[in-house]
Structure 1
Amino acid sequence: MITYNPLLCLDFYKTCHAEQYPKGLTKMVSYYTPRMSRLSDTDKVTLFGLQAFIQEYLIEAFNDHFFNVPFDSVLKEYTRVLGATIRTKGVGEKRLRELHDLGYLPLQIRAVPEGTRTNIKVPQIEISNTHPNFVWLVNTIETMLSCTMWHTQVSAEVGYRYRKIVNEYAERTCDDNVVRARLLGDFSMRGQESVESATKSAAAFCLSFLNTATVPAILWLEHNYNCDCSKEPVAYGALSTEHSVMCSNFAVDGDEVTQIRRLLCEVYPHQSFSMVSDSYDYWNLVEKVLPQLKDDILNHDGFISIRGDSGDPVSVITETVYRLWDIFGGTVNSKGYKVLNPHVKAIYGDSITPQRCEQIYSLLEKNGFAINNVSLGVGSFSMECLETIESDGSKQYNPYTRDTFGIAVKATYAEDADGKPIMIFKNPKTDTGHFKKSQRGCCRVVKTGDGYDYVDGLTWAEAQDSNELRTVFRDGKFEKQFTLDEVRKNLHGGTF
């Protein structure tokens, strides 16, 4: 979260728009809309992150760094920064003072419920001013809103994509009591742009799965989505070794048996853990070292996950399952698929794209194994890029950006001092694909058989009834908040 006046957390040009609007406007309405999809198989986008944005920026940041700070200090910083950069020292003092004296943020935000997947081109968020003197505030928050939410929403879609794959194969190969939300996990933190980006991205992924390596994602969800990891399943981490552990012990012991036995019998005798196993010779460890430790593994109060970390993930993890079956055996579940002895599993925590995930599950199913024999980890690549296979077999990489779903905030409606409706819209003739065409006037969002649609061209009064956009924030306070459990159920049709 920012530690300075949020009215300086924007593009430079936003600071001068108040003077540029037509005189006499008393109301402005803007909509946040995913305008397109660059993913051929995705025509809906999950709304997630708005509640956190409101909490961290519109409430906490504005209270801590604007309203609760002496106005002289606010003005001094504001004029110093702008005066030294775009030569607008002093511009905006009157409106800043009016807002500071008001003591709250005079905005109303309406939105579809968090966790809802709306169709492309359907507005997800509506922003309007509640005080006639603060038309300029509506689009002032656009920059913060856009850059805070787009990656969070993309990561929610990434998690949803993987969950659909898991559901498909688990339905066919796993007993019904297998917790599908535990079959994949987020391993992305170290590869993301920042701690903040990694935290929000992992939290969004946790709408579909319970496993994460990103500790602050849990704290972020607790802070913003009314949950408590000590009382409910927010997300879970895992005990695991890393190469520094494996290599330093090998340097001391001269073998791998000693360390693995110590992990099983001394360090984690009553806990499950994952062990990176390819520091030297992965298949030697699987085929020769593990059999030496068979009794220790079978007597262990938990399971050990054998983790590959190099080579082709598809062949490594599927072959590992087959060889662990040969060594430790297992059972056949109610759907006729093999399940490894509960003391062993296979895990691969890197390079698991949606395509590789499907390939792994398909091979396991083909060879008679349930998919809950493996745990897969989704890294930063998949949180930030989608790999696609072209018709000629070549691979294309599509990095996720704000433009993946063409997310934008556009003003579409205003009123003058007499309350006269003013319909605003943009429709560039040079935009031949009509990608940048905006809504016109106020919008009413409605449910349809295919999800959601909208009607535009309405006045503010006409758009109030039977609208799926519901008020969540008004005049500096929440009017509606969602729990993590509610968001998950909204996304997954009532179940998680």
Structure 2
Amino acid sequence: MATQYPAGTTGVYSYIASRGGKFDFTQFFGLQMFIKEYLLRPVTKADINIAEEILTAHGVPFDRSRWDYILETHGGWLPVKIKAVAEGTTVPVGNALVTIENTDPECFWLTTWLETAVLRAIWYPTTVSTQSKYIKNILMNYLEKSGDPSTIYFKLHDFGARGVSSMESAGIGGAAHLVNFMGTDTLTGVLFAREYYNAGIAGFSIPAAEHSTITSWGRAGELNAYSNMVTQFGKPGGIVAVVSDSYNIYEACKMWGTGDLKQQVIDSGATVVIRPDSGDPVEVLPKMIQILSEGFGYTTNSKGYKVLNNVRLIWGDGINSLSIQSILRMMVDQLGWSLDNFAFGMGGALLQQVDRDTQKWAMKCSAAKVNGEWVDVFKDPITDSGKASLKGRVTLWESGGEFETSVSKPTRWTDKGTEWTEVLNTVYWNGNLHKEFTFEEVRANSMK
């Protein structure tokens, strides 16, 4: 790669940005995981030997001397500087979130050599976190309208562990969701938040039935299966979730709301969360809540919306941002039920149904130092103006919640006394983690 640059090149400066996509903002997260896992250990002679063997056989050029130079001069540590916006920060699309440049003029080629790994390390967790934040905004609007906003952190539960391509994806994506919420069944996400961001217990769950633990009682024993869940886990002030659509969800709701099972729920002092797992939620939920309200009754809160007694509902099948909005328009806007009655579980759509194009991620070189002078580098394809890239040694500036990407400090609003501040922190420099974020700090940044 080095020989493809102009003679006299000693510096390469690149940035990473979302060029647009499904959401008009991004919530930056995940770079620290990559740095800790992959960049805080030096390249070794054994690594270089393996690379030489494989790449030579693979048929691509491999200049061993350049890696030997890094080993001999820098002890195997990568001579690059990475700057990034604070993790958890929400920034409009089109802005530089990360910049990378070499710190040794002999290693100018290293900047773009890192592109594949660093871009992948950023686009996935940031896109998951962004989608999670987008849904959080929807849910918060409905809670402010109809219920208790303090319950927001448990309104979107991560059901995605078994729907991703790897355990590492579960950990990275699961931690990204926990930037915005605290409900998760993806325990790997809790572990990654702990490992890479010094979190305590970042996510929580509750006892919950699955289909096998209900259907193993047989259809004739369905009521006994439900009763057993309340017996085992129904404690005063506790919450227990029970999947109830293994056979007939409407008959199950009648079981819950009548006779001994109803009284058992009431006497337990617990809240039972009934989970349907099939069908069209806009059709199923109104019928369910009608049956449950006839059984348990409901109150009307101070905002004028109905809240069930003793029981709640969670929908976790086929959930995405659009289906959540459809459900809330029906249940809250049309039928007058508070969002306090509902929670959502999101699996594959949360952690797996995203890709680099969801937010049109790219890492591009914007400046190069050639023969001692920095020159602008950019692309501007005539066939797609959306792929035009930024020019120069750009950075990210912030003022009063507004962001702008440019080489020099913006002059906009300075006549009003507005001060712009560069907000890209140096997070990695020549083998060292230069700035570390705790998960507490990430969450605090996400709420600004």
Asked if TM exceeds 0.5, the reply is: yes
Q: How does 1:226-375 map to 2 (within 5 A)?
A: 226-229=198-201, 234-250=202-218, 254-266=220-232, 268-269=234-235, 271-288=238-255, 290-292=257-259, 293-341=261-309, 343-365=310-332, 366-375=334-343
Q: Which amino acid aligns with 1:478?
A: L
Q: Over residues 272-303 of structure 1, what are the superposed CA-to-partner deviations in whole Å (9 max), with x where a residue is unaligned?
A: 21111111121111113541311111111422
1:206 aligns with 2:178: yes
Indicate the residue corresponding to 1:20 in structure 2. 4
Instruction: Give the match's secondary structure for 1:345.
Output: strand
1:478 aligns with 2:433: yes
Indicate the residue corresponding to 1:409 in structure 2. 363
Indicate the residue corresponding to 1:440 in structure 2. 391
Instruction: Give the match's secondary structure for 2:379.
Output: coil
Instruction: Give the match's secondary structure for 1:278.
Output: coil
1:110 aligns with 2:90: no
Of the three residues 21, 29, 36, the one matched with 1:38 is 21
1:491 aligns with 2:442: no
Of the three residues 37, 42, 45, the one matched with 1:56 is 37
Asked if the contact 1:175–1:333 (Cα under 8 Å) also holds between the matched residues in 2, the reply is: no
Of the three residues 121, 126, 134, the one matched with 2:107 is 134
Alignment partners' CA distance in 1, 2:350 and 2:311: 27
Distance 1:320 1:227, change over 3 A: same
Alignment partners' CA distance in 2, 1:175 and 1:82: 58
Q: Over residues 46-98 of structure 1, what are the superposed CA-to-partner deviations in whole Å (9 max), with x where a residue is unaligned?
A: 22111112112212xx44xx34xxx1x2232112101211164xx42211112
Asked if the contact 2:96–2:405 (Cα under 8 Å) also holds between the matched residues in 1, the reply is: yes
Asked if the contact 2:158–2:174 (Cα under 8 Å) also holds between the matched residues in 1, the reply is: yes
Instruction: Give the match's secondary structure for 2:343.
Output: strand
Indicate the residue corresponding to 2:66 in structure 1. 95
Range that drifts further, 265-274 or 124-133: 265-274
Asked if the contact 2:99–2:395 (Cα under 8 Å) also holds between the matched residues in 1, the reply is: no
Q: Over residues 125-153 of structure 1, what are the superposed CA-to-partner deviations in whole Å (9 max), with x where a residue is unaligned?
A: 11011122211111111000122221222
Instruction: Give the match's secondary structure for 2:264.
Output: helix
Deviation, structure 1 residue 237: 1.9
Deviation, structure 1 residue 364: 2.8
Deviation, structure 1 residue 122: 1.4
Asked if the contact 2:275–2:314 (Cα under 8 Å) also holds between the matched residues in 1, the reply is: yes
Deviation, structure 1 residue 199: 2.5
Alignment partners' CA distance in 1, 2:275 and 2:116: 42
Indicate the residue corresponding to 1:468 in structure 2. 423
Instruction: Give the match's secondary structure for 1:179.
Output: helix
Alignment partners' CA distance in 1, 2:379 and 2:217: 65
Q: How does 1:411-430 map to 2 (within 5 A)?
A: 411-416=365-370, 419-428=372-381, 430=382
Q: Over residues 12-32 of structure 1, what are the superposed CA-to-partner deviations in whole Å (9 max), with x where a residue is unaligned?
A: xxxxx0232233332221111
Asked if the contact 1:309–1:350 (Cα under 8 Å) also holds between the matched residues in 2, the reply is: yes
Asked if the contact 1:186–1:378 (Cα under 8 Å) also holds between the matched residues in 2, the reply is: yes
Deviation, structure 1 residue 383: 4.5
Deviation, structure 1 residue 216: 0.1
Instruction: Give the match's secondary structure for 1:441.
Output: coil
Asked if the contact 2:378–2:389 (Cα under 8 Å) also holds between the matched residues in 1, the reply is: yes
Q: Could you tell me which runs of 5 or more consecutive residues in structure 2 were left unpaired when the two chains were aligned.
A: 410-419
TM-score, length of structure 2 as denominator length:
0.90
Instruction: Give the match's secondary structure for 2:340.
Output: helix
Alignment partners' CA distance in 1, 2:25 and 2:66: 39
Deviation, structure 1 residue 100: 1.6
Distance 1:468 1:92, change over 3 A: same
Alignment partners' CA distance in 2, 1:294 and 1:466: 59
Q: Over residues 171-191 of structure 1, what are the superposed CA-to-partner deviations in whole Å (9 max), with x where a residue is unaligned?
A: 011135x42111121112222
Q: Which amino acid aligns with 2:366?
A: T
Q: Over residues 375-429 of structure 1, what are the superposed CA-to-partner deviations in whole Å (9 max), with x where a residue is unaligned?
A: 11112135555xxxxxxxxxxxxxx421232211111222246x3223322223x
Deviation, structure 1 residue 268: 4.8
1:161 aligns with 2:134: yes
Indicate the residue corresponding to 1:394 in structure 2. none
Q: Percent identity over the alignment?
A: 30
Instruction: Give the match's secondary structure for 1:481.
Output: coil
Asked if the contact 1:30–1:127 (Cα under 8 Å) also holds between the matched residues in 2, the reply is: yes
Distance 1:372 1:117, change over 3 A: same
Instruction: Give the match's secondary structure for 1:185.
Output: strand
* Number of residue pairs matched by the alignment: 433
Instruction: Give the match's secondary structure for 1:310.
Output: coil
Alignment partners' CA distance in 1, 2:314 and 2:408: 53
Deviation, structure 1 residue 466: 4.4
Alignment partners' CA distance in 2, 1:161 and 1:267: 33
Distance 1:307 1:237, change over 3 A: same
Deviation, structure 1 residue 434: 1.7
Indicate the residue corresponding to 2:197 in structure 1. 225
Asked if the contact 1:175–1:335 (Cα under 8 Å) also holds between the matched residues in 2, the reply is: no
Indicate the residue corresponding to 1:454 in structure 2. 405
Indicate the residue corresponding to 1:395 in structure 2. none
Instruction: Give the match's secondary structure for 1:208.
Output: coil
Q: Which amino acid aligns with 1:426?
A: K
